[in-house]
């Protein structure tokens, strides 16, 4: 019980420690443009979350997104919307558009030098045709992967005092959520790196 209390106190301290004068000014940066690129995997979402051990395809994604915060959720959390467009390429070409709700933390400051900003985008993803393992998963479930759920868990990193620029790792994920949509279980996963400009 004591260990649990100390863990809660430590998390609370870390979240609160980001609320410096600079961090407070960062809350005005409610808009963002984001470009990223990555490689698709044969793996499930859970296995793809470790980019160093994932089983990669010869298919890639190049994407851009725009996001804007609309709600202050407290505890240095912001809520907003994101929309994006991606080119999916390799053995075949495909186009993806997605949109969804975003919940992000405005930043946990580490050693007064760097801010770590976790966030999650959740919504819907639309493609013109499946590529890579998504084609095999379509055949295996006799499903339709054209419209699936979208998830984009990510970690963004910025220097203290330059929070307008972020280096971002995102797991770009499409899923039928246990055949809830499109008759699909898993869709497609890509590990990506990108650069975001906040303004």
CA distances (Å), origin 178, targets 21, 55, 148, 164, 175: 45, 22, 11, 38, 8
Q: In this structure, are residues 34 and 67 in contact, taking their beta carbons and an 8 Å threshold?
A: yes
Residue holding tokens 């994006």? 84
Q: In this structure, are residues 64 and 37 in contact, taking their beta carbons and an 8 Å threshold?
A: no
Sequence spans of domains, the chain: 2-198
**What whole-number distance in Å separates Cα of residue 6 and Cα of residue 43?**
36
* pLDDT score recorded for residue 91: 86
**What whole-number distance in Å separates Cα of residue 126 and Cα of residue 117?**
27
Q: In this structure, are residues 114 and 134 in contact, taking their beta carbons and an 8 Å threshold?
A: no
**What whole-number distance in Å separates Cα of residue 26 and Cα of residue 101?**
20
Task: Check whether 194 has a pLDDT greater than 60.
Answer: yes
Across the chain, mean pLDDT equals 87
* pLDDT score recorded for residue 136: 87
**What whole-number distance in Å separates Cα of residue 160 and Cα of residue 168?**
15
Compare 8 and 165 and report the one with higher pLDDT.
165
pLDDT tens per residue across span 2-46: 444 444 444 434 444 443 334 444 556 899 999 999 999 999 999
pTM of the model: 0.83
Tell me the sheet residues that pair with 37. Answer: 62, 193
For residue 151 the two structure tokens come to 């998830």
CA distances (Å), origin 62, targets 6, 32, 88, 94, 117: 43, 17, 7, 11, 22
Q: Taking residues 73-78, report their average pLDDT.
A: 94
CATH top-level class of 2-198 = mainly beta
């Amino acid at each position: 019980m004591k260990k649990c209390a100390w863990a809660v106190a430590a998390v609370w301290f870390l979240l609160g420690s980001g609320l410096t004068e600079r961090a407070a000014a960062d809350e005005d940066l409610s808009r963002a443009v984001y470009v990223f690129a990555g490689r698709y995997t044969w793996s499930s979402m859970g296995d793809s979350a470790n980019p160093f051990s994932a089983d990669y395809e010869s298919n890639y994604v190049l994407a851009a997104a725009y996001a804007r915060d609309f709600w202050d959720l407290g505890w240095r959390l912001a809520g907003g919307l994101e929309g994006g467009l991606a080119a999916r390429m390799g053995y075949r070409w495909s186009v993806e558009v997605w949109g969804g709700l975003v919940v992000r933390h405005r930043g946990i400051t580490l050693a007064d030098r760097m801010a770590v900003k976790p966030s999650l985008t959740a919504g819907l993803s639309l493609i013109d045709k499946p590529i890579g393992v998504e084609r095999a998963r379509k055949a295996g479930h006799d499903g339709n992967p054209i419209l699936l759920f979208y998830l984009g868990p990510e970690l963004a990193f910025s220097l203290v005092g330059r929070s307008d620029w972020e280096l971002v790792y995102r797991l770009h994920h499409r899923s039928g959520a246990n055949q809830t949509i499109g008759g699909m279980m898993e869709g497609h996963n890509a590990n990506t790196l990108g650069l975001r400009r906040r303004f």
